[in-house]
C-alpha cells in the first residue's frame, strides 16, 4: 500500500505461502517496490513491530538513507493492551503479573460465559430472547480484541441478567450444572461488573488513540502529543479509582506505565520526533518525558531530508 496526502493506493499483493519470511526475504520485496515507485518519492516504510520487520527496516534504511523505517503505532498500542490485559504473558515479571493478573481473570470469566452460551443452540436461543445484540467472537488478530469483547458484553448486561433469572433459564437443565451456576453468579455479581467497567475506563484512552490513529488521515505529527495525553488520562482514571492524589504512587499504575513506556521506546523513531518538533502548535515538549534524547539527533535527520533536494 502507498499512502500520500490523498487516499491509500493498493500497489500489489504477493503470495508468500511456503516462504521463510525472514528479514532478507521481506527486505527484497520492499526494495523491489521502492525501486518501482522511486526511492526519492518516499519518506517512510511502515511495518508491524515484529523483530524480523525491525531488521528489515534497518536494511532498507542502510540502502536508502533518505527513507525512514517506522513501526506501526496501532500495532504498538495493541501490543501494550495485550500485555496489560493478558497477564499470562508476563509470568516472568512477577510484579507485573501480580498487579495485572486480575484483569486476565475477568477476561477469562467473560470468555467462559460467552462460550457457555454460544456453544449450545438451546442456551443461545434463550439468550436471543432477551437480547437484541449478539455476543461477539472476536478474532485474536483483531486490534484490541479484548476491549471490543468487553465493550459488547457491557452493552448486554441487562439482557444477560434478565436471562439468568428467567423461568426459561431456571427450567433448562443441562449436563453441566456447575457452569450454569457459575454463569448465573457472575452475571448477577455487581462487583464483577464494576471490575469490567474499571478495565474499560482505564484502557479507554489507549483504545481511543488506537481508533484515532487507525485511519487514512495523516497523524504522524500528532503521535507524541496523543501518546503523552493518553498516558495522562490513564493515570487520572487509575488515581480516581484508587482515590489517590496525582502525586501519590500507585503500584498498579506504575506497572501499566512501564508497559506503555516499554512498548513506545521499542517503536518510536526520530521521524516521530521530527514531525512533532516541526508542528508549530505542539512544539518539542512533553509532560511524560516521551520526547526522547533523539532531539539531539534531529539535525542529522534533517540533513537526510535535505539530501533529497
Q: What is the mean pLDDT of the chain?
A: 82
**pTM for the whole structure:** 0.81
| pLDDT tops 80 at residue 246 | no
| pLDDT tops 90 at residue 192 | yes
CA 260 to chain centre: 10
Q: How far is CA 162 from CA 32, 70, 156, 169, 172, in A?
A: 59, 49, 10, 10, 15
d(CA 240, CA 130): 34
pLDDT category of residue 112 using cuts at 50, 70 and 90: very high
Q: What is the mean pLDDT of residues 39-62?
A: 90
156's CB contacts (< 8 A; 6+ apart) are: 131, 133, 135
Q: Which of 50-59, 176-185, 190-199, 262-271 has the lowest mean pLDDT?
A: 262-271
DSSP the chain: -B--SS--B-------TT----HHHHHHHHHHHHHHH-GGG--EEEE---HHHHHHHHHHHHH-TT-EEEE-HHHHHHHHHHHHH-GGGGTTSHHHHHHHHHHHHHHHHHHHHHHHHHTSHHHHHHHHHH-SSPPP---TTSTTHHHHHHHHHHHTHHHHHHHHTSHHHHH---S-HHHHHHHHHHHT-HHHHHHHHHHHHHHHHHHHHHHHHSSSS--GGGHHHHHHHHHHHHHHHHHHHTT--TTS--HHHHHHHHHHHHHHHHH--HHHHHHHHT-TTTTT--TTS-S-GGGGGHHHHHHHHHHT-
Q: What is the mean pLDDT of residues 123-129?
A: 89
Q: Which of 111-115, 126-130, 153-157, 282-286 has the lowest mean pLDDT?
A: 282-286
d(CA 257, CA 265): 12
| pLDDT tops 60 at residue 210 | yes
Amino acid at each position: 500500500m502507498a499512502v500520500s496526502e490523498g487516499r491509500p493506493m493498493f500497489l500489489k499483493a504477493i503470495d508468500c505461502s511456503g516462504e521463510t519470511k525472514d528479514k532478507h526475504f521481506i527486505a527484497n520485496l520492499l526494495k523491489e517496490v521502492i525501486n518501482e515507485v522511486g526511492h526519492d518519492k518516499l519518506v517512510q516504510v511502515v511495518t508491524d513491530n515484529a523483530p524480523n520487520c525491525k531488521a528489515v527496516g534497518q536494511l532498507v534504511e542502510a540502502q536508502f538513507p533518505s527513507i525512514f523505517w517506522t513501526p506501526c503505532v496501532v500495532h504498538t498500542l495493541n501490543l501494550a493492551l495485550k500485555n496489560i490485559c493478558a497477564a499470562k504473558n508476563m509470568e516472568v515479571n512477577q510484579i507485573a503479573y501480580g498487579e495485572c493478573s486480575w484483569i486476565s481473570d475477568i477476561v477469562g470469566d467473560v470468555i467462559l460465559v460467552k462460550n457457555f452460551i454460544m456453544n449450545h443452540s438451546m442456551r443461545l436461543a434463550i439468550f436471543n430472547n432477551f437480547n437484541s445484540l449478539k455476543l461477539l467472537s472476536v478474532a485474536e488478530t483483531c486490534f484490541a480484541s479484548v476491549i471490543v469483547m468487553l465493550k459488547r458484553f457491557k452493552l448486554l448486561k441487562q439482557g444477560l441478567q434478565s436471562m439468568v433469572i428467567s423461568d426459561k433459564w431456571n427450567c433448562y437443565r443441562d449436563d453441566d450444572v456447575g457452569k450454569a451456576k457459575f454463569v448465573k453468579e457472575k452475571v448477577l455479581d455487581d462487583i464483577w461488573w464494576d471490575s469490567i467497567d474499571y478495565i474499560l475506563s482505564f484502557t479507554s484512552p489507549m483504545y481511543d488513540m488506537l481508533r484515532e490513529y487507525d485511519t487514512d488521515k495523516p497523524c504522524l505529527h500528532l503521535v507524541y502529543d496523543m501518546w503523552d495525553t493518553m498516558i495522562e488520562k490513564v493515570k487520572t482514571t487509575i488515581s480516581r479509582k484508587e482515590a489517590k492524589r496525582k502525586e501519590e504512587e500507585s503500584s498498579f499504575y506504575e506497572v501499566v506505565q512501564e508497559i506503555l513506556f516499554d512498548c513506545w521506546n521499542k517503536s518510536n523513531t526520530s521521524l516521530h520526533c521530527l514531525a512533532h518538533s516541526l508542528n508549530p502548535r505542539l512544539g518539542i515538549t512533553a509532560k511524560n518525558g516521551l520526547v526522547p534524547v533523539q532531539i539531539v539527533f534531529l539535525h542529522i535527520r534533517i540533513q537526510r531530508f535535505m539530501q533529497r533536494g
